[in-house]
Amino acid sequence: MKLFYGWVIVAVGIVVGCIGMGGLMSFGVFLQPMSDSLGWSRAGISTASTLAFLSMGVGGFLWGWMFDRYGARAVVFLGGTLQGIGLVVASQADSLPVFLAVYGTAVGLAAGAVYVPLTAATASWFTRHRSLAVSLVSAGLALGTTIVAPLARWLIVNHDWRYAMFTLGMIAWVVILPLALLLRRAPVAVATAAAGHAGSDAGRATMTVQQALKTPLFWSLALANFACCAAHSGPIFHMVSYAAACGVAPLTAATVLGAAGIAALSGRIICGLMADRLGAKRTLVGCLALQAVAIALYLPARDINSLYAVSMLFGFSYGGAMPLYAILVREHFPARIMGSVFGVVASISTFGMALGPPLGGWLFDHYGGYGWLYVASSAVGGAAVVIALTVRPHRRALVAVPAAT
Higher pLDDT, 115 or 380: 380
| Rg, the chain, Cα only | 20
Residue 226 pLDDT > 90? yes
CATH topology classification for 8-388: Growth Hormone; Chain: A; (1.20.1250)
**Distance, CA of 83 to CA of 176 (rounded, Å):** 10
Average pLDDT, the chain: 83
Q: Which of 197, 191, 183 is nearest to 5 (CA)?
A: 183
**Distance, CA of 141 to CA of 14 (rounded, Å):** 8
pLDDT at 1: 57
**Distance, CA of 97 to CA of 234 (rounded, Å):** 22
pTM as predicted:
0.72
Identify the weakest region by mean pLDDT among 52-56, 97-101, 282-286, 317-321.
52-56
pLDDT at 400: 41
- Residue 137's CB is within 10 A of a number of other CB atoms, namely 28
pLDDT at 44: 83
Q: List, as one string, the DSSP characters of 199-225.
A: T--HHHHT--HHHHTTSHHHHHHHHHH
Residue 153 pLDDT > 60? yes
Q: Do 330 and 191 touch, CB atoms closer than 8 A? A: no
Q: Do 67 and 114 touch, CB atoms closer than 8 A? A: no
pLDDT tens figures, 331-357: 888 877 877 888 888 888 878 887 877
Higher pLDDT, 368 or 283: 283
C-alpha distances out from residue 219 to 64, 222, 340, 371, 398, Å: 17, 5, 14, 31, 27
* pLDDT over 70 percentage in the chain: 91
pLDDT tens figures, 12-46: 999 998 898 888 878 878 888 888 888 888 778 87
**Distance, CA of 257 to CA of 26 (rounded, Å):** 9
Average pLDDT over residues 216-235: 92
Residue 102 pLDDT > 80? yes
Average pLDDT over residues 271-298: 91
Higher pLDDT, 52 or 310: 310
pLDDT tens figures, 44-79: 887 888 788 788 877 777 887 888 888 889 999 999
Instruction: Map out the domains of the chain as residue ranges.
Output: 8-388
Residue 152 pLDDT > 80? yes
pLDDT at 363: 80
pLDDT tens figures, 155-191: 998 888 899 999 999 999 999 999 999 998 877 545 5
Q: Which of 234, 187, 218 is nearest to 355 (CA)?
A: 234
pLDDT at 179: 94
Surface-to-core class of residue 95, CB atoms within 10 Å of its CB (0-12 exposed, 13-18 middle, 19+ buried):
exposed
Average pLDDT over residues 121-141: 79
Between the ranges 108-112, 310-314, 323-327, where is the mean pLDDT highest?
310-314
Identify the weakest region by mean pLDDT among 123-132, 220-229, 363-372, 394-403.
394-403
What is the DSSP code (8-state) at residue 404? T
pLDDT at 249: 79
pLDDT at 348: 87
**Distance, CA of 74 to CA of 30 (rounded, Å):** 31
Higher pLDDT, 128 or 294: 294
